[in-house]
C-alpha cells in the first residue's frame, strides 16, 4: 500500500471513536486499523461472521480458519465472538454496525456512491457492499481523490452503477474531507499541503465550503 493510501487511512482513523463497532471494507479501509492510536479502542466486525477482529498474526500464529472478509488471516481479541452469516448481516442491516468504512469508484453530488460494478462489464460480484451501505449507521468513504488515470471521482452524477439509494455521511481523500449535508457535499477540511484551487480543479461535483476552511 502506498503513502497516499496510508495518508487517507490516517485521516479516516481520526473520525472513529472509542467503543464503536466498525466494519472495514477491502483496500484502503483495511489500513484504517493501523492508524488508530489504540487499535483495541474500537470493535471490528467482519461480514464473514466475527466481532472482535484483531491484527494480522505472526506467520507461526496463522489459523487457517480465521480470516476477514478480504480472506486474509486475522487474530482474535479478548471478548471476540463468532456467528453465522445470516446473523452477521442481521447486525449490519439492523443498524448495529455503527461505522462502515468503504472504498468507492465514484461519489455523486448528493453523496451516493458506486463501488461494486463497472459499466458495460458483466456483473459478477457484489459481496456485502450493498448490505453495509444500507445498514451501517454512519458510512465513511475512504478513497483517492482521483482515479488512477487522474479522472475526478467526486462527480455530478455517477457513470458507474450505484451501490445503494442511500447517501454516505463522510468522504475522505488524501486532499480533502467532505461531509454530506442537506442533500449536498460540504468541504469541511483541506489536508496539509493542499489548496482549495487543487480541490476545485479535481472535483467536478458542486460543493459548498465550510466557513472554517480557508
Partner 1 sequence: MNTRTPPSLLRSPHEAAALVRPGHTLMVGGFGLVGAPLTMIEALRGQPEARDLTIISNNLGEPGRGLGRLLLDGKVRKAVGSFFTSNPDVVRWHAEGRLEIELLPQGTMAEAIRAGGAGIGGFYVRTGAGTALAEGRETRVIDGLPYLFQRPLRADVALVRAGQADELGNLTYIKTARNFNPDMATAADVVIAEVDEIVPVGALDPERIVTPHLFVDHLVLAEGTR
**Which residue of 27, 40, 49, 57 would you call a contact of partner 1, by CB under 8 A?**
49
Q: Does 104 bind partner 1 (CB under 8 A)?
A: no
Query: Do 57 and 63 meet the contact criterion of CB atoms below 8 Å apart?
Result: yes
**Contact window for partner 1 (CB under 8 A) among 6-14, 87-95, 149-157, 180-188:** 87-95
60 is catalytic: no
Q: For residue 199, which of 153, 167, 134, 136 has the smallest C-alpha distance?
A: 153
Q: Least distance from C-beta 92 to partner 1, angstroms?
A: 6
For position 131 contacting partner 1 by CB under 8 A, the verdict is yes
Contact between 76 and partner 1 per CB under 8 A = yes
Q: What is the DSSP letter of 130?
A: H
135 touches partner 1 (CB under 8 A): yes
Q: What cell was used for 68?
A: 476477514
The reply on whether position 122 binds partner 1 by CB under 8 A is yes
Q: Which is nearer to partner 1, 12 or 54 (CB)?
A: 54
d(CA 107, CA 117) in angstroms, rounded, equals 13
Q: Is 203 in the site for partner 1 (CB under 8 A)?
A: no
**Interface with partner 1 includes 92 (CB under 8 A)?**
yes
DSSP 8-state symbol, 191: -
One residue of 83, 110, 146, 210 binding partner 1 per CB under 8 A: 83
Question: Can you tell me which of 1, 85, 147, 201 binds partner 1, judged by CB under 8 A?
Answer: 85
Q: Is 54 in the site for partner 1 (CB under 8 A)?
A: no
CA-angle at 194, arms to 188 and 196, nearest 5°: 60
Among residues 28, 44, 34, which one has the least CA distance to residue 81? Answer: 44
User: Is residue 158 within 8 Å of 106, Cβ to Cβ?
Assistant: yes
Question: Is residue 45 within 8 Å of residue 21, measured between CB atoms?
Answer: yes
Please give the Cα distance from 173 to 4 (Å, whole number): 9
Which chain residues interact with partner 1 by CB under 8 A?
Answer: 46-50, 63-69, 71, 76, 82-86, 88-90, 92-93, 117, 122-131, 134-135, 161-165
Catalytic positions, written as ranges: 47
Amino acid at each position: 500500500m502506498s503513502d497516499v493510501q496510508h495518508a487517507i487511512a490516517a485521516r479516516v482513523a481520526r473520525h472513529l471513536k472509542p467503543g464503536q463497532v466498525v466494519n472495514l471494507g477491502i483496500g484502503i479501509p483495511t489500513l484504517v486499523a493501523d492508524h488508530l492510536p489504540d487499535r483495541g479502542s474500537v470493535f471490528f466486525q467482519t461480514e464473514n461472521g466475527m466481532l472482535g477482529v484483531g491484527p494480522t498474526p505472526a506467520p507461526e500464529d496463522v489459523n487457517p480458519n480465521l480470516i476477514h472478509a478480504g480472506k486474509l488471516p486475522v487474530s482474535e481479541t479478548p471478548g471476540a465472538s463468532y456467528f453465522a452469516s445470516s446473523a452477521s448481516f442481521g447486525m449490519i442491516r439492523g443498524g448495529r454496525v455503527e461505522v462502515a468504512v468503504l472504498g468507492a469508484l465514484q461519489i455523486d453530488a448528493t453523496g451516493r456512491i458506486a463501488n461494486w460494478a463497472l459499466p458495460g462489464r458483466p456483473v459478477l460480484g457484489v459481496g456485502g457492499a450493498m448490505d453495509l451501505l444500507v445498514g451501517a449507521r454512519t458510512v465513511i468513504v475512504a478513497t483517492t481523490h482521483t482515479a488512477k488515470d487522474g479522472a475526478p471521482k467526486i462527480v455530478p452524477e455517477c457513470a458507474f452503477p450505484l451501490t445503494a439509494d442511500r447517501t454516505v455521511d463522510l468522504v475522505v481523500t488524501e486532499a480533502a474531507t467532505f461531509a454530506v449535508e442537506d442533500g449536498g457535499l460540504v468541504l469541511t477540511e483541506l489536508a496539509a499541503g493542499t489548496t482549495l484551487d487543487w480541490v476545485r480543479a479535481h472535483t467536478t461535483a458542486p460543493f459548498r465550503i465550510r466557513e472554517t476552511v480557508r
